[in-house]
Amino acid sequence: MDTRRVLRTTGTLIAAAGLLVSGCTAGGSGSEAAASAPAPGRLAGQTAESARPEATPAALAPYYAQKLSWRACGVPGFECATLKAPLDYDRPASQGGKDIALAVARKKATGPGKRLGSLLVNPGGPGGSAIAYLQGYAGIGYPAAVRAQYDMVAVDPRGVARSAPVTCLDGPAMDAYTQVDQTPDDQAEQGKLVAAFKRFAAGCKERSGTVLPHVSTVEAARDMDLLRAVLGDQKLNYVGASYGTLLGATYADLFPRRVGRLVLDGAMDPTRSALELNRDQTEGFETAFRSFAKDCAKHADCPLGSGGPDDQARRLQDFFKKLDAQPVATGEKRALGEALAATGVIAAMYDESAWPQLREAITQAQNGDGAGLLALADSYYEREPDGSYQNLMFANAAVNCLDLPPAFSGPQAVTAALPSFRKASPTFGPGLAWAALNCAYWPVKATGTPRRLEAEGAAPIVVVGTVRDPATPYKWAKALASQLDSGTLLTYDGDGHTAYGRGSDCIDTAINRYLLEGTPPADGKRC
């Protein structure tokens, strides 16, 4: 299990395996042309052609001028379309390159009130389906006033879900991959883990070799600008969660004068290396676990006892060691070993509403029934009841390994880093350190590097951080807000991953006002 991902839908765990890690590069991206409209959305009489940036290279003009053909797509009230983009922005179709088809969905503004244009949403990952998020939550669960004045829009990023999805392994092979011991005790177990990473990478190359070099965050951000123009919006209005904050910040840095109202919730720090991001996130999960442990001790059914977090952490570590030596039954062919159990625990750290479920699942596993923790792990990996997997894990690795150079070059480098990971998290550190080895064997060389994203000249951008966020540590939000030329930090003193729509009236009121009126909260506001 690799924790470089963060996804959530209110009340529901959406899984993505792999690190949140992503970097950004300006290579081949070009710079923006001035966008002149003062309003955040489309102006009266504006067309997609008039929303096209003036300095768009001639080879890209047909993409900016295309018209979407909307159709019903199974969920009442939603429409779907296909957006054409160049597979390689440096070699569009007119220069002999190939195109890629990107899936788009929208729910038109319901009124009343002045229409404010389109509001693009992305739940994170990388690898989360924005369309599934739109249809399952944002398009029906965002505040009524927001949905009344915005067309709610989503595009599955390249390589994700309905947009030329990356595929790597079939269901049985993925089952085997998720069960590999990620806390190797000797050279033989290290060899098995390395072999698993290599099989995964080879499967991705075999099944998705054409798209693998072109699923970077920079390319996905450029796709968002195509969509903005085709929708007829002068400025991009956007709510991105988790990895979606990196995508939004990258867009803002590439096209600062096309920034409308951007909310970056559960922010990432683009200046951190893959190693630093992994270690930071490891510390974040330890913080979240200790918050869970304190809450657990208040309940009579706490399976970790009533002592302090240190004692409870030791009991959980002892439990993992027992599972490493002797997995327990789950009621199906897969047994619950340490790897799947740790994944199940980590999955529940994303939302405190899952803590009662976690208490019950650990209790059951201690009594020889691993079905509860297995279900949590399956939710994290997006495993379907029929044994198949959605492409979240595949896309997650593809984006992460392309965006940043690998955290480690090989097993020796992991071994050297283990003390720092154990310090960051005695509970999860070793497993998360070894999980970060996956990109070392990736078949495509990374194109990105850590760098500041400043978006000089952009309109105010709201960056949201949750103090005890397990997957995007709060310090990342502070870092991104300070980097962005117009960044405004909004803090939620709470648990779980991200803040908008998770029960804080203070957070929701501040963000809704910004989206509807264009007034950002005061920098440093705390809820």
Q: Which CATH number does the domain housing residue 157 bear?
A: 3.40.50.1820
- Pick from 287, 281, 271, 279: nearest CA to 420: 279
Q: Are residues 204 and 216 in the same domain?
A: no
Q: Flag whether 3 is in a domain.
A: no
Note whether residue 412 is domain-resident: yes
Residue 90 falls in the annotated catalytic set: no
pLDDT confidence of residue 236: 98
Residues 385 and 295 in one domain: yes
Does some domain include residue 196? yes
Q: In percent, how much of the chain has pLDDT > 90?
A: 87
Residue range 8-31: mean pLDDT, rounded: 30
pLDDT at 21 (0 to 100): 32
pLDDT for 134-150, tens place per residue?
Answer: 999 999 999 999 999 99
Residue that is last in its domain, among 386, 415, 441: 441
522: DSSP letter: P
The pLDDT tens digits for 441-462 are 999 999 999 999 999 999 999 9
Residue in 175, 351, 469, 495 annotated catalytic: 469
Q: Which of residues 421, 441, 461 is at a domain's end?
A: 441
- Structurally, how many domains does the chain consist of? 2
Full DSSP string of 379-413: HHHTB-TTS-B-SHHHHHHHHHHHHS--S-SSHHH
Q: Quick one: pLDDT band at residue 56, thresholds 50, 70, 90?
A: confident
Q: Indicate if the pLDDT at residue 233 is higher than 70.
A: yes
**Higher-confidence position of 470 and 22:** 470
242 is catalytic: yes
Residue 57's pLDDT is: 84
- Closest to 160 in 3D by CA, of 248, 220, 80, 232: 220
What is the chain's mean pLDDT, rounded?
90
User: Pick the catalytic residue: 118, 208, 242, 486?
Assistant: 242
- Check whether residue 364 and residue 466 sit in a common domain: no
* CA torsion through residues 45, 47, 49, 50, sign: positive
Contacts of 484 (CB under 8 A, 6+ apart): 249, 252, 453, 454, 455, 458, 461, 463
Whether residue 27 has pLDDT greater than 80:
no
Q: What is the pLDDT of residues 80-121, one digit of tens each?
A: 999 999 999 999 999 999 999 999 999 999 988 889 999 999
**Distance from C-alpha of 66 to C-alpha of 50, rounded to nearest angstrom:** 12
Tell which residue, 335, 422, 410, 318, has the closest CA to residue 373. Answer: 335
The answer on 360 and 281 residing in a single domain is yes
6: pLDDT confidence band, cut at 50, 70 and 90? very low
Phi, psi (rounded to 5 degrees) for 462: -95, 120
> What are 34's two structure tokens?
């001035």
Q: Is 469 a catalytic residue?
A: yes
Whether residue 233 is contained in a domain is answered as yes
pLDDT in the model for residue 12: 29
266 and 295 part of one domain: no
- Which tokens hold the place of 265? 């919730």
List pLDDT tens digits, range 169-211: 999 999 999 999 999 999 999 999 999 999 999 999 999 999 9
Residue where one domain finishes, among candidates 395, 420, 441:
441
Q: Could you tell me if 237 and 178 lie in one domain?
A: no
Indicate if 314 and 330 belong to the same structural domain: yes
How open is the CA angle 494-489-39, to the nearest 5 degrees? Answer: 125
Query: Which structural domain, as residue segments, surrounds residue 259?
Result: 8-167+211-270+450-526
Whether 2 is in a domain gets the answer no
Output the pLDDT for position 455. 96
pLDDT score of 37 = 28
Q: Answer whether residue 232 shows pLDDT above 70.
A: yes
373 and 396 share a domain? yes
Q: Which pLDDT belongs to residue 53?
A: 56
Q: Are 252 and 151 in a shared domain?
A: yes
Q: Is residue 386 part of a domain?
A: yes
Share of the chain above pLDDT 70, in %: 90
Q: Are residues 101 and 189 in the same domain?
A: no
Q: For residues 316 and 175, state if they share a domain.
A: yes
Residues 220 and 315 reside in one and the same domain? no
Residue 260: pLDDT over 80: yes
